Each structure stands twice: as C-alpha cells, then as structure tokens.
Amino acid sequence: MLSIEQVQAFLYREARALDDRDWDTWLGFYDKAAEFWMPAWKEDDSLVTDPHTQISLIFYPSRAGLEDRIFRIRTERSSASMPEPRTSHNITNVEILEQDGAALSVRFNWVTYSHRYKATDVFFGTSFYTLNVAGETPVITRKKVVLKNDYIRHVIDVYHI
C-alpha cells in the first residue's frame, strides 16, 4: 500500500502538470481505460448517479476522451480555452479510504484559482480517485470530481478541477 505521503506527492504532481499545462505528463497519470466524471447536481443536495443516463458536467468513459480534449486545446480548436487560463491547484484533506488488491481509493478536497481575461475565478470541491498501484508508479483508473460551486459564469474544463 502507498503511504499517505506517496499519495499526496502523486496528487501534487498531477496538479502541477495541469498548472504547467504539461499535457503529455498529465495524460500519463491516467490509465487507458480511466473514467473521468464530474456529475451534475440534481438539486442542491444530491448529485446525479449515472453518467450514462443523466446529465454530467464532464464525462469521459476512457482516456481517449481526455486525449481528444487536450488535442483540441493544443490545436486551438477550443475557443473556450483561448487564451488558456493561468491556474493554481491546491489540495487538502487527503485520505486513503481503502485498498482492495491493486485498487487504492483516495478522497481529497481541492481549490483551483483560474485567471483569464483580467478576472480570477475560484472553483472548489472534493475528488474521489481509484488508483491502480500494481505498477512502478500509480495510475488513475477512475476520477470522480464533485464541484461544490457549480453555478459558474462560463465553461468549466479539465484544467479547472
């Protein structure tokens, strides 16, 4: 099992890759079959439960969706990402929830500051990761992001969370 310090270091490296817009490194944190999901809120106190049948803020059933998103950002085919924002990801309250064989479940809180067009936005929430820790370095096999301030004034993207 990874120590809490090793898990924190892994999370910090992923956040740094986003802040540095180091897209190849960031994609390397994800398994080919990794699910990336940010559910929408049904009401003020409950989230949708099925990304296949309900509205999600972001849903990619595998890393291929993330790769396509990064391709669009890199090739300026995403007007929502032009210009790219400057971000600062801050992670707290990291917990190891359980380990079942090579699958390690992690929960943490985060705040991201995003600056673009002379304005700064703040996004915050809780993330739940499942890591495959069987290899030399862990990889994310499932990422669920609960955005707590979901009343946003513009598009939200993978680099905001």
- The confidence band for 78, taking pLDDT boundaries of 50, 70 and 90, is low
More confident residue, 75 or 70: 70
* Predicted local confidence at residue 152, as pLDDT: 73
For the chain, give the percent of residues with pLDDT over 90: 72
Tell me the pLDDT band of 74, cut-offs 50, 70 and 90: confident
Q: What is the pLDDT of residue 98?
A: 97
**For 84-112, how does the pLDDT look when each residue is reduced to its tens digit (9 = 90+)?**
778 999 999 999 999 999 999 999 999 99
Q: Is the pLDDT of residue 35 over 60?
A: yes
Mean pLDDT of 48-71: 94
For residue 2, the one-letter residue type is L
Confidence of residue 73 (pLDDT cuts 50, 70, 90): confident
In whole angstroms, what is the distance from residue 122 CA to residue 150 CA?
11
CATH code where residue 54 lies: 3.10.450.50
DSSP state at residue 85:
P
Segments forming the whole domain that contains residue 128 = 4-160
* Mean pLDDT to the nearest integer, 31-43: 94
Tell me the pLDDT tens digit for each residue of 106-141: 999 999 998 878 888 899 999 999 999 999 999 999
31 within 8 A of 132, measured Cβ to Cβ: yes
Question: Residues 147-155: contacts with CB within 8 Å, 24+ apart?
Answer: 147/38, 147/57, 147/123, 148/124, 149/122, 149/123, 149/124, 149/125, 150/40, 150/41, 150/57, 152/121, 152/123, 153/121, 154/80, 154/121, 155/80
Taking the alpha carbons at both ends of the chain, their separation in whole angstroms is 26
pLDDT at 121: 87
Number of domains forming the structure of the chain: 1
